């Protein structure tokens, strides 16, 4: 259930180009949030909010790791917050990734840019369920790369940069063959990337998480709607998603 909560900031660090990692403390969110859900963080008072994805949770310490990119005035303001300060959030919001517990399986995680963080919390959760994890993480350039070590601790990891300054050169879709056999995939990143992935992996079961600028974040304003393939209807990214089955929405 979405609640309005106050989070105490414990740690803030820039970990890559324009990319901020923030660790916050909150008992309710740390106990209830599942991979793929997000927090709607108040940036200025309580009116302006930004959806921020959950990169990790430590249930014992009751901490949540948030990761965001500075893309405008709201996220720039968030990046100025310091340990010891608190912030107001609504969450945990949205529907997260569904995990199939049955039979052992190999999972492919495919993340692009700021779509990478929610896949880490998902990958950790899947690894605890004895799934084999393969990750493909795409970034624009070497300076944008983060969490390579963390994903490598979960399993085989490929880093791809668009300009070839680090790892493989090109796009995440160029590396899928190298990853080998897998049973299911989960992906998060920009829409053109998700479109290319769902077209390429049309025969595989998968789930995608959509990054979208949101308004209310709770299903009330229709600012985030996306068409579905099935019946010509629409789904709201903030409340029906942000995670959908791969062929459920029209990208």
Q: Among 34, 116, 214, 243, which residue interacts with ligand FES (rule: CB under 6 A)? A: 214
Query: Is residue 119 involved in binding ligand FES (CB under 6 A)?
Result: no
- Say if residues 123 and 109 touch (Cβ distance below 8 Å): yes
Q: Among 238, 243, 246, 249, which residue interacts with ligand FES (rule: CB under 6 A)? A: 238
Choose the binding region for ligand FES from 85-93, 102-110, 168-176, 218-226 (rule: CB under 6 A): 218-226
Q: Among 85, 164, 221, 230, which residue interacts with ligand FES (rule: CB under 6 A)? A: 221
Distance, CA of 113 to CA of 103 (rounded, Å): 31
Q: How far is the CB of 220 from ligand FES (least distance, A)?
A: 5
Distance, CA of 98 to CA of 220 (rounded, Å): 24
Q: Can you say whether residue 128 is alpha, beta or left, with left for phi > 0 and alpha for psi between -120 and 50 degrees?
A: alpha
Q: Among 9, 70, 81, 216, which residue interacts with ligand FES (rule: CB under 6 A)? A: 216
Query: Is residue 219 involved in binding ligand FES (CB under 6 A)?
Result: yes
Query: Is residue 223 involved in binding ligand FES (CB under 6 A)?
Result: yes
Kindly state the tokens that stand for 159.
Answer: 């880093």
Compare residues 190 and 219 and give the one whose CB is closer to ligand FES: 219
Choose the binding region for ligand FES from 55-63, 86-94, 189-197, 220-228 (rule: CB under 6 A): 220-228
Q: How far is the CB of 23 from ligand FES (least distance, A)?
A: 26
Please state, as a whole number, how many other Cβ atoms lie within 10 Å of the Cβ of residue 94.
28
Residue entry with tokens 């009330």: 220
Calculate ∠ Cα 47-52-58, nearest 5°.
125
Kindly state the tokens that stand for 84.
Answer: 């010891």
Distance, CA of 251 to CA of 248 (rounded, Å): 9
Choose the binding region for ligand FES from 54-62, 94-102, 200-208, 222-230 (rule: CB under 6 A): 222-230
Q: How far is the CB of 213 from ligand FES (least distance, A)?
A: 9
Q: How many residues bind ligand FES (CB under 6 A)?
A: 12
Distance, CA of 88 to CA of 225 (rounded, Å): 25
Distance, CA of 111 to CA of 217 (rounded, Å): 22
Query: Is residue 95 involved in binding ligand FES (CB under 6 A)?
Result: no
- Which residues on adjacent β-strands are paired with residue 107? 133, 184
Kindly state the tokens that stand for 110.
Answer: 């495919």
Query: Is residue 48 involved in binding ligand FES (CB under 6 A)?
Result: no
Q: How far is the CB of 246 from ligand FES (least distance, A)?
A: 21
DSSP 153: T
* Contacts to ligand FES by CB under 6 A: 214-217, 219-224, 236, 238
């Amino acid at each position: 259930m979405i609640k309005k909560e106050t989070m105490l900031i414990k740690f803030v660090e820039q970990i890559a180009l324009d990319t901020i990692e923030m660790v916050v403390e909150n008992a309710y969110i740390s106990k209830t949030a599942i991979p793929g859900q997000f927090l709607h963080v108040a940036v200025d008072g309580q009116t302006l909010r930004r959806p921020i994805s959950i990169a990790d949770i430590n249930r014992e310490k009751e901490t949540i790791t948030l990761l965001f990119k500075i893309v405008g005035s709201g996220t720039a303001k968030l990046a100025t917050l310091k340990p010891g300060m608190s912030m107001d959030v609504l969450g945990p919001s949205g529907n997260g990734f569904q995990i199939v517990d049955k039979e052992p399986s190999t999972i492919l995680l495919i993340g692009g840019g700021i779509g990478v963080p929610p896949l880490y919390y998902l990958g950790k959760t899947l690894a605890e369920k004895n799934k084999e994890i393969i990750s493909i993480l795409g970034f624009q350039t070497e300076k944008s790369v983060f969490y390579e070590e963390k994903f490598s601790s979960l399993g085989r990891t490929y880093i791809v940069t668009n300009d070839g300054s680090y790892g493989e050169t090109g796009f995440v879709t160029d590396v899928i063959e190298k990853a080998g056999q897998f049973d299911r995939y989960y992906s998060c990143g920009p829409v053109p990337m998700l479109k290319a992935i769902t077209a390429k992996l049309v025969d595989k079961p998968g789930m995608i998480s959509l990054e979208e600028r949101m308004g209310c974040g709770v299903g009330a304003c229709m600012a985030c709607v996306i068409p579905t393939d099935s019946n010509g209807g629409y789904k709201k990214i903030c409340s029906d998603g942000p995670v959908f089955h791969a062929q459920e929405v029209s990208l």
